[in-house]
Structure 1
Amino acid sequence: MVVRSPEDVWDVLRDVGAVHRRLLPGRVLDVSVDGNVRTLTMPDGHLVRELIVAVDDEARRLAYAVVEGARPPLRHHHASFQVLPDGDGRSRLLWITDLLPDSLAGLIEARTAHGIREMKEVLELPAGA
C-alpha cells in the first residue's frame, strides 16, 4: 500500500523517462528513451535496455521487458506495474515479473522486494521533497 492517490502514483510510473528522478533516484543514475526503448544507466555505469511494451492510462498499467544488460543475465524478463485504488486516497502498486531461468527467481524476488520498499519510500515523500 502506498499513501498517495492512484492518479499521483500513476503519474510517476507512466513517466518512463524519469525513473532516475521520480521513482528510483540513487538506484538509477540516468535514463534515455528512444522510441519504445528505455536505457537505464546504473550507478556502476552499466546499461540496462528495456522495451516499453505498453503504457495504458485507462488501466494504469505499464509493461516492459529487459532486453539487454540484466545482471545476472536472464534468458527472458517481462514485468508490469499496475496502480490500483486502495481506499482513502491510497494506492496498491502491483508488480508482476516473469523471468527465465527459474533458478534466478529467488534473487530477482529479493531485488524486487527491495525495489518495492525504495519506491514506496520515494512515492510517499511530501510534495517538493
Structure 2
Amino acid sequence: MVVEGRLRDTRLDARPEKVWDAISDFVNGPLRMGPGVFTGSKLVEPGARELTFADGTVARERFIARDEPARRMVWGWIGEQVEHDNTSMQVFAEGAGQSRLVWTHDTLPDELAGWLSTAMDQLTPVFQNALRSGGR
C-alpha cells in the first residue's frame, strides 16, 4: 500500500469487475465495502446520499461522476465544516484475479486532513476483507 497524504494505492485480492461493481453503486456500495463500519446508506435526494456510520454519525455526500470505461467514481462530502471535498476511487486490473484500488480524498479546510487520513487507513483493510475473492 502506498500512502501519500490523502492518497491510498492498494492491491486487492479481488477481480476488478467485483471491486468496480461495489464502488460504482453509489447508494449500497459503502455497505458492501465497509460492513460493520457503515450501517446505513440512502438516497435523500437525486444525487445525494446519507451514509450512517456504526457510531451513529451521519455524513451527507453528493454524486459527482462515474466513468464506466475507466472504472472511476467521484463523490463529495457535504457539510458545514467542509469548504470543498472531492473523493475518487478508481479500479485497475492487476494480474489474475487481482485489482489495484486508487483512493484519493481532497478536502478543505486542511484541518480535516489528519482525521481523513486516519479514517482512510482504518477503512482500507476493511475494504480489502469485504472485497476479497470468494466473498460476496
TM-score normalised by the shorter chain: which range applies?
0.7 to 0.9
The alignment partner of 1:107 has SS state of: helix
TM-score by length of structure 1 reads 0.87
On the 8 A contact 2:22/2:33 being kept in 1, the answer is: yes
Aligned to 2:77: 66
TM-score by length of structure 2 reads 0.83
When residues 55 and 114 of structure 1 are mapped into structure 2, their CA distance, relative to the original with a 3 A threshold, is same
Q: Which runs of 5+ in 1 are unaligned?
A: none
Shift in Å at residue 29 of structure 1? Answer: 0.8
Deviation beyond 4 Å, 4+ runs, structure 1: none
Shift in Å at residue 20 of structure 1? Answer: 4.8
On the 8 A contact 2:12/2:131 being kept in 1, the answer is: yes
The alignment partner of 1:81 has SS state of: strand
Whether 2:28 is the aligned partner of 1:18: answer: yes
Aligned to 1:52: 63
Alignment of 1:36-47 (within 5 A): 36-47=47-58
The letter for the 2-side match of 1:77 is D
User: Which structure features the higher share of strand residues?
Assistant: 2
Q: Distance in 2 between matches of 1:63 and 1:127?
A: 25
The alignment partner of 1:84 has SS state of: strand
Q: Deviations along 1:70-91, whole A, 9 cap, x unmatched?
A: xxx3322211000011112210
The alignment partner of 1:29 has SS state of: strand
Q: Deviations along 1:99-119, whole A, 9 cap, x unmatched?
A: 112233222112111111110
- Larger CA deviation: 101-110 vs 58-67: 101-110
Q: Which runs of 5+ in 2 are unaligned?
A: 1-10
On the 8 A contact 1:20/1:26 being kept in 2, the answer is: no
Aligned to 2:93: 85
On the 8 A contact 2:51/2:58 being kept in 1, the answer is: yes
On the 8 A contact 2:85/2:107 being kept in 1, the answer is: yes
Structure with more relative contact order (C-alpha pairs < 8 Å, separation 6 or more) = 2
Q: CA RMSD in A?
A: 1.7
